[in-house]
Chains A and B, each alone.
Chain A
């Protein structure tokens, strides 16, 4: 029987819940630790787990189903199932569990996620559909953020990011407190809840790679992976002799750039001779901007590294 583990870490990093995903099982085991100490161990009547969201108060939302049964969403407090909803296949739950993405089957075009708000009424979880107008993500306080820079708050859809809808979502911080939108020459780091934002320029000829920005949880620092000309400096130097510049080979290079609010370039991590900065996963900055978490490749081996400056 093939099993995989599903895990959920609370937004404050104190609670960790781990569940085995056993497709044909009648129940699975939920284990939770608080700061590394056992907090909960119980059986959950689900087999295939779709989504888990651990909250800061220790409660946990689990979405899944058993073979031949309808999808269910459970809210567990302590070792008791406090509330539940049936019939909603959940793809994703907001960090504060105020909203969820429900899977809709759309015939040949496949499934897509529709935002729903979540409310608790006694032992029932009530899900109510929100406005759907394209690709979106759910955030704290029931906010729905659309990929074109619009935000849905209390049922009203309004542009949030300057330049919307001519912007696109390039990435989110892990707890979705901040989002990074890219335009042609500028990138915007914005809070979907408060709307607070700062911007930084995208250099000429460079492009931010989607899904690879890393944003600190306090929104003060952001890393982006940019793809740019490997011979940018030489080409600039040869500007007086265009024929020389044209002879340089066309090669693109990917660098990791760290920006600080309000838009200052702090560092540029690029490939060195024997170690290569891996740019297919985000580099996450710490809230003080002094540490970065990511991957490097050394002699064909990947290492996950924490790098830090004094």
Chain B
């Protein structure tokens, strides 16, 4: 016996339908989370702020920064952000330079593999 059209409509409504928009939302959230995590990991990588070449430096770390230099190179104090605080000592010519005078130094930026 054929069913009435109203009953057929009810059956259709009761069937679980594929909810595309929910899947898209879940995928977008997953992508966002993955992207956020990867960006956070990217920020966690250690990058070279200062690089000192061609010197046999002494290294004296302290709470506020570190001293580098010695022998034929001036003694220089940097803070932990890599900003020059002060510099004293003698150049190869043997004269003492002024405090705060900036000599040539190389600055590189690249990432070292850092993971945990």
Contacts and interface: CB of A to CB of B under 8 A. Distances in A.
Interface stretch (B6-14, B19-27, B28-36, B65-73): B65-73
A275 B47 CA distance: 13
A277 B112 CA distance: 9
Contacts, number: 132
A307 B57 contact: no
A306 B112 contact: no
Contacts of B71: 4-5
A286 B112 CA distance: 17
Contact of B67 (A9, A11, A269): A9
A266 B52 contact: no
Interface string B79-97: 0111001111100000000
Contacts of B51: 303-306
Contacts of B88: 16, 33, 36
Interface of B: 43-53, 55, 57-68, 70-71, 75, 77-78, 80-82, 85-89, 99-100, 110, 112-116
B114 A267 contact: yes
A217 B61 contact: yes
A5 B58 CA distance: 11
B57 to A, nearest CB: 5
A36 B71 CA distance: 17
Given A9-B60, A13-B62, A36-B100, A307 B70 contact: no
A243 interface: no
Contact of A217 (B52, B62, B81): B62
Q: Which of A16, A291, A306, A310 has most chain B Cβ within 10 Å? A: A306
A111 interface: no
Contact of A309 (B46, B50, B75, B89): B46
Interface of A: 4-5, 7, 9, 11-13, 16, 18, 33, 35-37, 174-175, 214, 216-218, 265-270, 272, 275, 277, 281, 284, 286-288, 290-293, 296, 301, 303-310
A151 B82 CA distance: 37
A11 B67 CA distance: 11
26 contacts: A7-B70, A9-B60, A11-B62, A13-B63, A16-B75, A33-B99, A217-B61, A217-B62, A218-B63, A268-B115, A269-B114, A275-B110, A284-B66, A286-B61, A287-B63, A287-B80, A290-B80, A292-B46, A293-B59, A305-B49, A306-B82, A307-B49, A308-B49, A309-B43, A309-B45, A309-B46
B46 A308 contact: yes
A305 B55 CA distance: 12
Contacts of A35: 85-86, 99
Given A12-B62, A275-B112, A291 B44 contact: no
B116 A9 contact: no
B59 A305 contact: no
Q: 9 closest Cβ contacts across the A-B interface?
A: A36-B86, A36-B99, A13-B62, A286-B80, A307-B46, A217-B63, A284-B61, A306-B50, A304-B52
Contacts of B47: 307-309
Given A33-B86, A35-B85, A293-B61, 6 more contacts: A16-B88, A33-B88, A174-B61, A266-B116, A290-B80, A308-B82
Contacts of A288: 80
Contacts of A9: 60, 62, 67
